[in-house]
C-alpha cells in the first residue's frame, strides 16, 4: 500500500513539474510549482522527516511562492512576450529528456556507496530530528550558517539600493 501511495505521489509530482514548464499562463505555472512542493513535503513525511516536511510547506510552498507569484503578477507579461520565449521550451524539453535518460542509466547501473554516518535510525528515534539538526547546525556548520546570513543581508541591501529611486 505504501509503495502504491509513493507511486501516486511521484506521478503527481512529475506531472505538476511538467506543468510548471508547459503552462502558458505564468500564474498557473506557479500554482503547479506549489503542487510540486507539496508532493516533496509528502516524500519527506514518508522518509520520517516531519520537520523537513513542515519547513518545505512553510518556507517554499508558503513564503517563497508568494514572492514568486507577486513578481509574476507585477511583471504583467503580455501574450507577445510569452510568444517570444516559446522556442526555448522545445530545446529545454530535449535537454531535460537527455538528462533524465542519463540519470536513469546511472541509477540502474550504479551501486550503493555503502557510506555510513554517525546518525543512525536508533539515534534519531532516541534524540529526535530537531536536536540532532540543531547540534550539527550550531557546532560543525556554524561558519557556513553565519556566512549564509551575511550573504542574505548583502542581497537585501543590494536589492534596496537597486530599487531606490534617484534622489
pLDDT digits (tens, 9 = 90+) for 82-127: 566 666 677 777 888 898 888 888 877 776 666 677 887 788 888 8
Tell me the whole-structure pTM to 2 decimals. 0.58
Compute CA distances 9 → 28, 36, 42, 59, 139, whole Å.
20, 10, 8, 20, 36
Whole-number pLDDT of residue 79: 60
* Of the listed ranges 7-11, 51-55, 65-69, 129-133, the one predicted with least confidence: 65-69
The domains of the chain are located at 1-92, 119-167
CA 83 to chain centre: 27
Measured distance CA(52)–CA(13) in Å, rounded? 17
* Topology (CATH) of 1-92: 1.20.120
Compute how many other C-beta atoms are within 10 angstroms of the C-beta atom of residue 59: 12
pLDDT-derived band at 10 (thresholds 50, 70, 90) equals very high
CA 64 to chain centre: 10
Whole-number pLDDT of residue 11: 94
Under the phi-then-psi rule, with left for phi > 0, alpha for psi from -120 to 50, and beta for the rest, what region is 49? beta
Amino acid at each position: 500500500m505504501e509503495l502504491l501511495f509513493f507511486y501516486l505521489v511521484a506521478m503527481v509530482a512529475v506531472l505538476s513539474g511538467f506543468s510548471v514548464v508547459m503552462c502558458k499562463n505564468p500564474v498557473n505555472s506557479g500554482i503547479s510549482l506549489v503542487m510540486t512542493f507539496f508532493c516533496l513535503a509528502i516524500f519527506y513525511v514518508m522518509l520520517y522527516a516531519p520537520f523537513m516536511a513542515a519547513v518545505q510547506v512553510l518556507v517554499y510552498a508558503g513564503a517563497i511562492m508568494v514572492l514568486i507569484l507577486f513578481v509574476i503578477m507585477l511583471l504583467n507579461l503580455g501574450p507577445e512576450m510569452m510568444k517570444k520565449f516559446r522556442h526555448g521550451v522545445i530545446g529545454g524539453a530535449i535537454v531535460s529528456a537527455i538528462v533524465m535518460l542519463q540519470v536513469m542509466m546511472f541509477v540502474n547501473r550504479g551501486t550503493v556507496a555503502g557510506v555510513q554516518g554517525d546518525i543512525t535510525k536508533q539515534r534519531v528515534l532516541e534524540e529526535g530530528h530537531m536536536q540532532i539538526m540543531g547540534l550539527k547546525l550550531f557546532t560543525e556548520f556554524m561558519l557556513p550558517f553565519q556566512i549564509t546570513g551575511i550573504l542574505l543581508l548583502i542581497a537585501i541591501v543590494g536589492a534596496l539600493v537597486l530599487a531606490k529611486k534617484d534622489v
